[in-house]
Amino acid sequence: MLAIILAADAASGAEKAAFPPFETWHFPSQIFWLAVLFGSLYFVLSRFILPSIGNTLERRESSIASDLDEAARLNDEAQEAQKSVEVSIAKAHAKARETAEKARAKIDAQIAAETAKVDAEVDKKLVEAETRISALRADAMKNVESIAADAAQSVLNKFGSKAAKADVSSAVKSVLAKG
């Protein structure tokens, strides 16, 4: 439908009208209203808005300057306080070091006495334990041969082989004699 209308307009040779705001006879009124709008905007900005913004900026600048001065003063006080704290900490460290050295010397003496006592008890218990271990080892070694022969016999039975107990016992004895 649109194509038919466009074709009819093109065929008739009708000249299209320009966009109304771009027609030259509108220019004087547009320029007048442009000047009125910009003039009123300039008046409102220069009389009301810009002075208010300027006052706010000045107050803010003075507030920032006073805050910076206060911060510098507090910083100086903090540095002085930090120096005095560092001096007190150094004194406390020296006193603590001295007290710790005295306590360390006293504890070292107590530890040395206690260590000597405990070492003597431990040495006594070690000698007793070594004696018991030697006795247990001797007992265990007596039974090793019979246990090994029984184990070898069980293994052979599991695999379905038959061997005389005397043969197994002699094989175990020869292996233990080598080892």
Residue range 111-161, pLDDT digits in tens: 989 999 989 998 999 999 999 998 887 777 667 777 777 888 788 888 887
What amino acid is encoded at 177 in this protein?
A: A
Residue 93: give the domain boundaries: 40-178
pTM over 0.85: no
Total tally of structural domains belonging to the chain: 1
Q: Is residue 20 part of a domain?
A: no
- Report residues of the chain scoring pLDDT below 70: 1-16, 141-142, 179
- Decide if 154 contacts 166 (C-beta within 8 A): no
Q: Is residue 56 part of a domain?
A: yes
Q: Is residue 59 part of a domain?
A: yes
Query: Can you give the pLDDT at residue 79?
Result: 93
Q: Is residue 30 part of a domain?
A: no
